[in-house]
Chain A
Amino acid sequence: MNWLQRILHRQQLEQQLDRELRFHREEYVAELTRRGLSEPAARRRALLELGGSEQAKEACRDARGTRWLEDFVHDFRYALRTLRQRPGFAAVALLTLALGIGATTVMFTVVNGVLLKPLPFHNPSELFVIHGRSNNWNVAAFGEQNLAGPDFHDLQDESRSLEIGGFLNNNATLSAPGIPEYVDLREISSRLFPVLGIAPLQGRAFLADDDRPGAAPVAILTYSFWQRRFGGSASALGSTMTLDGKAYTIVAIAPASFRLYQIEPDVLIPLGQDTGAFLQNRHAHPIHVVARVRRGHTLPQAQQEISALADGLAAQFPDTNKGRTFTFAALRPDAGDVTSTIWLLLGAVGMVLLIACANVASLLLARAVSRERELAMRVALGAGRGRLVRQCLTESAVLALAGGALGVLLAAVGLRPFLVLWPGTLPRAEEAQLDWRVLLFSLGVSLVSGFFFGFAPAIRAPFRNLEQVLRPGSRSIVGSSLRLHTGFVVSEIALAIVLLSAAGMLGRAVLRLSSLDPGVNTQNVLVSRMALSPAALENPDLARAAWKDILDRTRHVPGVASVAVVDTVPMRDGNNQLNYWPSADMPEQSKMPLALATSVTPDYFQVMGIPLRGGRLFNDHDRIDTEPVVVIDEELARHAFPGQDPIGKRLWGPDLGREPLHIVGVVGHVRHWGLASDDQATVRDQFYYPFAQVPDSLVRRWSELMSIAVRTNVEPLSLVGTLRGELRGASGDQVLYEVHSLEKLASASLAQQRFLLILFGVFAVLALFLAAIGIYGVLAYLTSQRIPEMGIRLALGARIADVRWLVLRQSLSMVSFGAVFGLAAAWAAARVLVRLVDGMRSVQPSTFVVVIPVLVAAALLAAWLPAYRASRVDPVIALRHE
């Protein structure tokens, strides 16, 4: 019989055991009668000598080796029974745990989906990103540098240890079929799909033959775009679409999970068909490169090979490649700024769970004390210590698992609504699902919590002074239980303080940041990116004329006060950073300061409400054939010309053109990086230059990037429809995209802070509530234990107020201990917040000071009912307890 059978046939085994032992006794009796004893005497003697059969049976049961499981089943049933006996306790404990575990599960689901889950590629751990490094590229300021087109091709062709693919970010106007739309484009090398190890959902991937200049134009649609634009129709495959005036045949649909750097673009086209000049020179570095180590090669081999290739390129092309190296980085999910928010929230949720555990622990502890007599009885009857601890732990495990199951249920219901609340876009949000990892995590968290809150009650089961515990009328108020209880409440209070003060700091930060002057008048301004008709991009004059036409048409739309064309808009993604120097003797490029350069038409300052501090703004006389002029902001003026009047001075720079720029005006600083982030941004200096002075060679590139900014007399977004119609252009293929009101951009720049504030606020209130329940529970219990004492005090003439104060004082002492630990922890937590959240000032002690009265009020409120009860004790009844 194996152990499973031994459990299943337990009943049968018991019967056989009984028969076997009875047989033994009967044989002995028979032998004794043979020796001459009378039967009754023999029976008596046999019983005496063999002893009770129960002990023998117990020993035999132990010998079966399945004792632990039988005990477990027994304990499990017992736990269910005791929980059912006290439904109130069970409900409170379960609900507390379900909230704690549910919230933790939701946050872990996000962490798992966004940060931990491997990318949806074949063996993603073999994939790497290759970046370029050189002395005149500042990684800290600009991030990693990509590769130049020719460098990419050289590596791709010559590396033996790596399989290399690349892609280029681009955009295009889709003009047919259907209404024109500006689409997010990726030009990919034909090797990219094989490198990533993915295949199209339908159709064929790009072939090497597609990936060269002059090949027939082909395109792959991404899944979402196919669904949105073509309704997921199979007939899309093989049809044609017009991108920037060129007809592409759709050859495939990408799989639904396809993302490049967590973004799902709209359309993929072959990189090799792009004949753009910037892809042919080694100065520009636009290509994102992804590589997989080939079978039979290792990463160090690949790195060695690539560095040898880099040396070769440096020798061959010293102008561009001297000192240029290529670095490897693992291709892994990167949530960018969101990462810190996610971890912060997981931390906050963890604290709520800890508080929930402490609460359940103190509830269990109170129950364990009231069950002390039962436990003592069990010990007296021979239960071992380990056995009792195991029984207590089984009870808490049952509680924890039930709470965990309820929590997972809550998480399953709450996950999607929570993700909808998330500010901005959460990369890979679609990956946040309750999968086996999440379930395993929740199971683990439940069990650890169960152990955590079950351990203290378990180990303090009574073993000494049994007779005292069992004596009738004894009161089992034990010092160790009081200390444990107080310990739980103190830690709850400490955790609540951490969350309260974090919420307080976030609240102050949001208040302060929202009252900051963004430097622009955000009311009634509409900003939108604008794609010119591809035909207008053909030559600079056409492009300039098209922009002029756009300005004229917009100006005549009813409700429009003024309009301008601009390349980068404050508080929106995108900026242009250029080096500048206030004199002609420029140092090395890396030593020069950077400024945000913005190209504008003259009305821009009026549209945005940027105040002029000195000099003049641009006007229509600043043209391509007049002296290049520039308007700087106060920050640049302060840094470059301290204590001097900058008007009339000049700016030089490697990318500012051959002639220095003449400073004609100074304007106010604009919080380009958003309300929260501008103060700690590394590049804050700003200057503006006239779009009219952008040289012919750059007009095309600039025209691809420009936006319009419109000041309106009406609600700005109400004009979108009219503007779209008005600006469609002669061939109907000019498109407005990414339309926002400036007000919304400004408020979105605080979205992370506001989101954190709301969640920390909710958690803090929850924590405060749980801590108050904890204080109430402990005091109610302790006070009930002291009823006779209160009776005596009252009988001896104590005033009601004295008795109440006795109880309240206990509460306050717990609060003060909790406050000491809590403030220390809150200070540490505050430093983390300051580091991770933009716009947080250094730790503010005043916030902590505000938290304390809130807590004291909550503690007194929680203590009031027990205190009131204590003071209403009837001395006569109380003393009768004795």
Chain B
Amino acid sequence: MAGPEKFDLPQGTLDLLILKVVALGPLHGYAIAQRIQQVSRDVVQIPQGSLYPALHRLENRSLLTAEWGDTETGREAKFYSLTRKGRAQLETETADWERLTEVVGLILRLSEGGTK
């Protein structure tokens, strides 16, 4: 499959992405994977074998709740939505991520400046 190079997600980021995507409204597993793939312009593809264990783990930690419902096409699917605890978790993790990338970026720029 020709396309952008596949990209391995750093440890723990998958959970963050799932939480973020689900924050916009209840979604089923397939839609979550699609949404992440679309938004990342096909850079991030999540295999079944990672997506569902992550969803179930988040559900067990009460960050997500799940409910069976019908899709637009009338099929039964399991829809995940964010809990209050999940929303709080999303906020802290987003803040952490932003701080981390900022700091890492700072350091990388600084070291380039240093070698010049």
Chain B 44-75 interface mask (CB, 8 Å, partner A; 1/0): 00011110111011001000000010000101
Give the residues from 1 to 56 in chain B that come closer than 8 angstroms, CB to CB, to chain A.
28-30, 33, 47-50, 52-54, 56
**Closest residue of chain A to B49, judged by CB?**
A56
Instruction: Chain A residues near B102: list those with CB within 8 A.
Output: none
The reply to whether A50 and B48 contact each other, CB–CB distance below 8 Å, is yes
Out of A27, A28, A50, A64, name the residue touching B60 (CB < 8 Å).
A64
**Closest residue of chain B to A3, judged by CB?**
B60
The reply to whether A26 and B47 contact each other, CB–CB distance below 8 Å, is no
Instruction: Find the residue from A16, A28, A60 having the highest chain B CB count within 10 A.
Output: A60
Out of B47, B53, B57, B76, name the residue touching A23 (CB < 8 Å).
B76
A56 CA to B68 CA, complexed, in Å = 20
**Closest residue of chain A to B61, judged by CB?**
A65
Give the residues from 36 to 54 in chain A that come closer than 8 angstroms, CB to CB, to chain B.
50-51, 53
Instruction: Chain A residues near B49: list those with CB within 8 A.
Output: 51, 55-56, 59
Instruction: Chain A residues near B28: list those with CB within 8 A.
Output: 23
Instruction: Chain B residues near A17: list those with CB within 8 A.
Output: 52
A630 CA to B77 CA, complexed, in Å = 111
Chain A 9-35 interface mask (CB, 8 Å, partner B; 1/0): 000000011011101101110100000
A556 CA to B30 CA, complexed, in Å = 114
Taking chain A's interface residues, is the majority helix, strand, or loop, or is none over half, making it mixed? Answer: helix
The reply to whether A60 and B30 contact each other, CB–CB distance below 8 Å, is no
A62 in contact (CB, < 8 A) = yes
From residue B6, how far is it (CB to closest CB) to chain A in Å? 12
Instruction: Chain A residues near B56: list those with CB within 8 A.
Output: 60, 63-64
The reply to whether B78 and A51 contact each other, CB–CB distance below 8 Å, is no
Out of A6, A16, A59, A64, name the residue touching B78 (CB < 8 Å).
A16
The reply to whether B30 and A23 contact each other, CB–CB distance below 8 Å, is yes
**Closest residue of chain A to B68, judged by CB?**
A16
- The size bracket of the interface on A is 20 to 34
Instruction: Chain A residues near B68: list those with CB within 8 A.
Output: 16
Instruction: Say yes or no: A63-B53 contact (C-beta < 8 A), given A51-B47, A51-B48, A53-B48.
Output: yes
From residue A58, how far is it (CB to closest CB) to chain B in Å? 9
A1 in contact (CB, < 8 A) = yes
From residue A2, how far is it (CB to closest CB) to chain B in Å? 9
The reply to whether B29 and A20 contact each other, CB–CB distance below 8 Å, is yes
Chain B 68-94 interface mask (CB, 8 Å, partner A; 1/0): 100001011110000000000000000
Instruction: Chain A residues near B50: list those with CB within 8 A.
Output: 59
**Closest residue of chain B to A27, judged by CB?**
B30
Instruction: Find the residue from B48, B53, B78 having the highest chain A CB count within 10 A.
Output: B48
From residue A518, how far is it (CB to closest CB) to chain B in Å? 80
The reply to whether B30 and A24 contact each other, CB–CB distance below 8 Å, is yes
The reply to whether A59 and B53 contact each other, CB–CB distance below 8 Å, is yes
The reply to whether B60 and A65 contact each other, CB–CB distance below 8 Å, is yes
From residue B36, how far is it (CB to closest CB) to chain A in Å? 14
A21 CA to B50 CA, complexed, in Å = 12
**Closest residue of chain A to B78, judged by CB?**
A20
The reply to whether A23 and B77 contact each other, CB–CB distance below 8 Å, is yes
From residue B80, how far is it (CB to closest CB) to chain A in Å? 10
Out of A16, A51, A60, name the residue touching B53 (CB < 8 Å).
A60
The reply to whether A20 and B53 contact each other, CB–CB distance below 8 Å, is no
Instruction: Chain A residues near B76: list those with CB within 8 A.
Output: 19, 23
The tally of CB-CB contacts under 8 A between chains A and B is 56
A63 CA to B33 CA, complexed, in Å = 18
**Closest residue of chain A to B52, judged by CB?**
A60
From residue A134, how far is it (CB to closest CB) to chain B in Å? 73
Instruction: Say yes or no: A24-B60 contact (C-beta < 8 A), given A56-B52, A60-B53, A62-B53.
Output: no
Instruction: Chain B residues near A56: list those with CB within 8 A.
Output: 48-49, 52-53
A262 CA to B2 CA, complexed, in Å = 91
Chain A 42-86 interface mask (CB, 8 Å, partner B; 1/0): 000000001101011001101111000000000000000000000
Instruction: Chain A residues near B73: list those with CB within 8 A.
Output: 30
Instruction: Chain B residues near A21: list those with CB within 8 A.
Output: 48, 52
A70 CA to B7 CA, complexed, in Å = 35
Instruction: Find the residue from A21, A59, A65 having the highest chain B CB count within 10 A.
Output: A59
A51 CA to B52 CA, complexed, in Å = 13
From residue B31, how far is it (CB to closest CB) to chain A in Å? 8
The reply to whether A24 and B29 contact each other, CB–CB distance below 8 Å, is yes
A26 CA to B77 CA, complexed, in Å = 11
Instruction: Chain B residues near A60: list those with CB within 8 A.
Output: 52-53, 56
A316 CA to B57 CA, complexed, in Å = 82
From residue A8, how far is it (CB to closest CB) to chain B in Å? 15
Instruction: Chain A residues near B77: list those with CB within 8 A.
Output: 20, 23
A169 CA to B39 CA, complexed, in Å = 95
Instruction: Chain B residues near A64: list those with CB within 8 A.
Output: 56, 60
The reply to whether B30 and A28 contact each other, CB–CB distance below 8 Å, is yes
Instruction: Chain B residues near A20: list those with CB within 8 A.
Output: 29, 52, 77-78
From residue A285, how far is it (CB to closest CB) to chain B in Å? 73
A533 CA to B73 CA, complexed, in Å = 112
A60 CA to B51 CA, complexed, in Å = 9
The reply to whether A59 and B75 contact each other, CB–CB distance below 8 Å, is no
Instruction: Chain A residues near B57: list those with CB within 8 A.
Output: 63
A19 CA to B75 CA, complexed, in Å = 11
A28 CA to B77 CA, complexed, in Å = 14
A63 CA to B76 CA, complexed, in Å = 23
A24 CA to B30 CA, complexed, in Å = 5
Instruction: Find the residue from A30, A56, A63 having the highest chain B CB count within 10 A.
Output: A63
A27 CA to B34 CA, complexed, in Å = 11
A625 CA to B24 CA, complexed, in Å = 121
From residue A78, how far is it (CB to closest CB) to chain B in Å? 26
Instruction: Chain A residues near B47: list those with CB within 8 A.
Output: 50-51
**Closest residue of chain B to A53, judged by CB?**
B48
The reply to whether B30 and A59 contact each other, CB–CB distance below 8 Å, is no
A6 CA to B56 CA, complexed, in Å = 12
From residue B59, how far is it (CB to closest CB) to chain A in Å? 8
Instruction: Chain A residues near B60: list those with CB within 8 A.
Output: 1, 6, 63-65
From residue A400, how far is it (CB to closest CB) to chain B in Å? 33
A59 CA to B47 CA, complexed, in Å = 12
From residue A456, how far is it (CB to closest CB) to chain B in Å? 36
A1 CA to B28 CA, complexed, in Å = 19
A56 CA to B48 CA, complexed, in Å = 6
Instruction: Find the residue from A19, A20, A56 having the highest chain B CB count within 10 A.
Output: A20
Chain A 171-204 interface mask (CB, 8 Å, partner B; 1/0): 0000000000000000000000000000000000
A24 CA to B50 CA, complexed, in Å = 13
A64 CA to B59 CA, complexed, in Å = 9
**Closest residue of chain B to A24, judged by CB?**
B30
From residue B46, how far is it (CB to closest CB) to chain A in Å? 11
A63 CA to B53 CA, complexed, in Å = 6
A23 CA to B28 CA, complexed, in Å = 9
A59 CA to B54 CA, complexed, in Å = 9
Instruction: Chain A residues near B29: list those with CB within 8 A.
Output: 20, 23-24
Instruction: Chain B residues near A62: list those with CB within 8 A.
Output: 53
* CB-defined A-B contacts under 8 Å, sample of 18: A17-B52, A19-B78, A20-B77, A21-B48, A23-B30, A23-B76, A23-B77, A24-B29, A24-B30, A24-B48, A30-B73, A50-B47, A51-B48, A59-B50, A60-B56, A63-B54, A63-B56, A65-B60
For the complex with contacts A20-B78, A56-B52, A59-B49, 16 further pairs of A-B residues with Cβ separation under 8 Å are A1-B60, A21-B52, A23-B77, A28-B30, A50-B47, A51-B47, A56-B49, A56-B53, A59-B50, A59-B52, A60-B52, A62-B53, A63-B53, A63-B56, A64-B60, A65-B60
10 interchain residue pairs of minimum CB distance = A59-B53, A63-B53, A27-B30, A63-B56, A63-B57, A56-B49, A56-B48, A24-B30, A60-B53, A20-B78
